[in-house]
Amino acid sequence: MKKVSTSSLLKMKQDKQRISALTAYDASFAKMFDEQGIDVLLIGDSLGMVLQGADDTLGVTVADIAYHTKAVRRGTQRAFVVADMPFMSYATPELAYQNAAQLMSAGASMVKLEGGSWLQETIKGLNERGVPVCGHLGLTPQSVHVFGGFKVQGRDDLQAEQILEQAKELERAGIQLLVLECIPSGLAEKITHSLNIPVIGIGAGNLTDGQILVMHDMFGISANYMPKFSKNYLLASGDMRAAVNDFIREVQEGTFPSAEHSFN
């Protein structure tokens, strides 16, 4: 199997082949997802909630992400591995360089940063130092206290325009992938068509270049609650491998997410 790379993800966008992505935190699940044909694996700071039982992602450390990145990398042969940069681990460019180096050394092929225009210098600096970057806009969980909770973003015209402009700025700064979380489907579609890089959605409708889910949500085993944008794929099949295959197939067909998993 040919390994997924930034180049092959870009070609998938150009060829209108949708990208499937899941979070992973250990070698066993990474191996299973990889064998079923998942394109991207994200070691998300979501581990703070789904593994550690916290109410948010803010307590996750670089050491936590590095530990789980090593495990995921050991279970992966084909999928593209992305590691989250935790809360305040990229508050300055210099801090970002140091912490990104740790995650890349642990086995990541790309790091993911949450935020907009203020990250441009950091993104350019990371690229210059050989670190590919994934952006993340919309509902950025590390800013949950600024937003006043886990709320859909971009519903008014001004905020929607700001998110679109930030996406363009991040692309110009050098990101090679973008995650859009919990924004209206129409805005996500507009951003996807405005950018040359692949755009992966979570709660952003089915007209992005791909979809990502937290694995615990996809299996219906999250401890706290099931987000509106998620779907329990294990419920129908009762088999984890079949559930992953169903998720990949529905992403590729464009049938997930449906209207009930999206925001207007």
Q: Could you list the active site residues?
A: 181
Cα–Cα distance, 141 to 66 (Å, whole number): 19
Q: Find out whether 96 and 125 touch, Cβ atoms under 8 Å.
A: yes
Cα–Cα distance, 94 to 99 (Å, whole number): 9
20 is in an annotated binding site: no
* Closest to 85 measured CA to CA, from 111, 59, 50, 49: 111
169 is in an annotated binding site: no
231 is in an annotated binding site: no
114 is in an annotated binding site: yes
How far CA 132 is from CA of 6, 113, 136, in Å, comes to 9, 11, 14
Cα–Cα distance, 213 to 149 (Å, whole number): 20
In the numeric block, which tokens belong to residue 73? 């990398």
5 is in an annotated binding site: no
Residues contributing to the annotated binding site for 3-methyl-2-oxobutanoate: 45-46, 84, 112
